[in-house]
Chain A
Amino acid sequence: MTTQLTTPMDKQALAELRAGDEVEITGTVYTARDAAHVKLFELLDTGQALPFELEGQVIYYCGPAPTPPGKAIGSAGPTTAYRMDAFAPRLYALGLAATIGKGDRSMSVREACKEFGAVYLVAVGGAGALLAERVTAAEVIAYPELGPEAIARLTVEAFPAIVGYDTAGNSVFPADAQHP
């Protein structure tokens, strides 16, 4: 069964999700990866407003490929999430509802999801062509000079993901993946 989620995300709906659940997101998500996070934190550290509201919103760790003519966006799969682990807890504390990326993350992110009722969602890495088809519009809203690392507002429809970390502190990643 696939759970439908819309943005801005309702914390109560997130609380019902469990690690391993399949979800589809419809609404707005914001792309941001390494360089954009550095810029966002410069704003936070100097008390300035961010280019988008965090409350109930979703950050997608993604640096899309260029948009071909007639398409909403180029190839647009997730990048590896752990590189943004130093940033995620503070953004969750400020109201961010979800991040989307790939791969396991540090315990600090898992704990922040539990503390702030937020989630980490896993999209299928390397499925950039399929995921691009679920993006119906894209607009760069900050840092165009960063090229593929700019912050873009994406309109998504039934964007598929798997719950990686839920609000109860569970993880989809097998703890028993180890030496046989």
Chain B
Amino acid sequence: MREIDCQIITDTVYDLVLKASYILPGPVLEALQDALTQETDVARTVMETLVENARIAATTKIPLCQDCGLVVVFAEIGRDCHLSGDLYAAINEGVARAYEDGYLRKSVLADPLRRDSNTGDNTPAVVHLTLTDGDRVNLHLAPKGGGSENMSVVDMLVPAVGRQGVIDCVVEQVVAGGGKPCPPLVLGVGLGGTMDKAAVLSKWAIMRSLGEPSPDPETAELERDILAAVNATGVGPMGLGGRTTALAVHVEKYPCHIASLPLAINLQCHAARHQQATI
């Protein structure tokens, strides 16, 4: 049994939050640069602005976006390790310190119905735990912005609509969102499970490194087909029209009830801030 002091969790979360806030992941920046060449007029201006914004954020340590998000952490805990201390408290301590030291906006309300209840340190994080083999702790962290989260949805489809019904539903959601969720988007799609499971899968999907296809060939083909359909809508960068509405689609599946076809669509803005570390 490997002992892990929760102080290491705090320090790691602190580093991941700061890195995520200032540095756009390499694959996201490359995808923006590639897509830029496809665009003209206002859409091109937007894409050039985003690439330049990433450069300025990385060099000046000004956050990529003023919406520094609500921190979502997926922690994969190896069965053969023992965490000494309170894991949740350790994660929140790392979040609180990073948001203070990094000049990040604190956007969390203690009570959703009380606008004057800002917790002041951007805690608590939303934490999802899973057990894995081995004695390591793997942390995936994403500060999730409000604008794109607001355009996300869980839809309990009629099973008969099938594969095409899933594609249509994602396209409709992206079109309905227009420029509000800050396209070009990364689409996290959770398919199957229960209502709650689909939602968690859709969030887990945006933690995947951008553009990495599903290891399952059928799912990877679905990802390609959804991406093509979404980019044929013409919504474009910031909803101003253009070819690039999404940079990638990531689909995660889970078995489900014969009566159900749960579909969760989690929209991630172009500031696809995601960082990962293994302890």
Contact = CB atoms under 8 A, between A and B. Distances in A.
A43 to B, nearest CB: 17
B233 A129 contact: no
Contacts of B234: 174, 176-178
A101 B168 CA distance: 29
A104 B50 contact: no
A178 B239 CA distance: 12
Nearest to A65: B105
B61 interface: yes
B271 interface: yes
Given A22-B42, A64-B105, A124 B178 contact: no
Classify chain B: how many residues form its interface, as a range.
Answer: 35 or more
Given A65-B104, A126-B271, A77 B178 contact: no
A177 B60 CA distance: 36
Across the A-B interface, give the 5 residue pairs with the lowest CB-CB distance, nearest first: A103-B180, A129-B57, A180-B232, A75-B63, A65-B105
Nearest to B60: A129
B179 A74 contact: no
B240 interface: yes
A147 B171 CA distance: 37
B180 to A, nearest CB: 4
Interface of A is mostly: loop
Contacts, number: 163
B19 interface: no
Interface centre among B103, B115, B150, by most chain A C-beta atoms within 10 angstroms, is: B103
Contacts of A124: 46, 49-50, 53, 238
Given A65-B103, A75-B68, A176-B234, A125 B269 contact: yes
A66 B105 contact: yes
A126 B182 contact: yes
B229 A180 contact: yes
30 contacts: A20-B41, A63-B67, A63-B105, A64-B66, A68-B103, A75-B62, A75-B63, A80-B147, A124-B46, A124-B238, A125-B65, A125-B182, A126-B53, A126-B145, A126-B182, A126-B269, A127-B50, A128-B63, A128-B65, A129-B57, A130-B56, A132-B66, A148-B66, A148-B105, A162-B45, A173-B178, A174-B234, A177-B239, A178-B175, A179-B171
B63 A129 contact: yes
Interface of A: 20, 22, 34-35, 62-68, 71, 74-77, 79-80, 82, 102-104, 122, 124-130, 132-133, 145, 147-148, 160, 162, 172-174, 176-180
B236 interface: yes
A79 B147 contact: yes
Given A74-B66, A125-B269, 15 more contacts: A34-B115, A74-B63, A79-B147, A80-B150, A102-B182, A104-B179, A122-B179, A125-B238, A126-B64, A126-B145, A147-B106, A162-B45, A174-B241, A180-B229, A180-B232
